[in-house]
Amino acid sequence: MYRAPVDEIAFTLKQVCGLADLQKSDRHAELGDDLVDAILTEAGRFAAEEIAPLNSVADKHGTPLEGGAVSTPPGWREAYHAWIEGGWNGLTADPESGGQGLPVMLSAAALEMWNSGSMAFAIGPTLTIGAVEAMEKHASEELKAKYLEKLVSGEWMGTMNLTEPQAGSDLNALKARAERNEDGTYRIFGQKIFITYGDHDLTDNIIHMVLARLPDAPAGTRGISLFLVPKFLVNDDGSLGERNDVKVAGVEHKMGIHGSPTCTMVYGDQGGAKGWLIGEENRGLACMFTMMNNARLA
pLDDT tens-place string over residues 14-50 = 999 999 998 888 888 889 999 999 999 999 999 999 9
247: confidence class by pLDDT, cuts 50, 70, 90: very high
151: confidence class by pLDDT, cuts 50, 70, 90: very high
Q: Are 93 and 136 in contact (CB under 8 A)?
A: yes
Q: Are 72 and 202 in contact (CB under 8 A)?
A: yes
195-241: pLDDT as tens digits:
999 999 999 999 999 999 999 999 888 999 999 999 999 999 999 99
Amino acid type, 78:
E
Residues 6 or more apart whose CB falls under 8 angstroms from that of 197 comprise: 123, 124, 127, 157, 159, 206, 260, 261, 263
Is 90 exceeded by the pLDDT of residue 169?
A: no
Taking the C-alpha atoms of residue 245 and residue 268, their distance in angstroms, rounded to an integer, is: 5
Taking the C-alpha atoms of residue 87 and residue 76, their distance in angstroms, rounded to an integer, is: 17
φ, ψ of residue 188 to 5 degrees: the values are -110, 135
In terms of Cα–Cα distance, which of 206, 208, 196, 204 is closest to 124?
196
Taking the C-alpha atoms of residue 58 and residue 259, their distance in angstroms, rounded to an integer, is: 5
58: confidence class by pLDDT, cuts 50, 70, 90: very high
Which CATH fold topology does 1-298 show?
A: Butyryl-CoA Dehydrogenase, subunit A; domain 2 (2.40.110)
Cα 256 → chain centroid: 20
Q: In the chain, where are the structural domains located?
A: 1-298
Q: Which residues pair with 263 in a beta bridge?
A: 195, 251
What's the DSSP call for residue 220? G
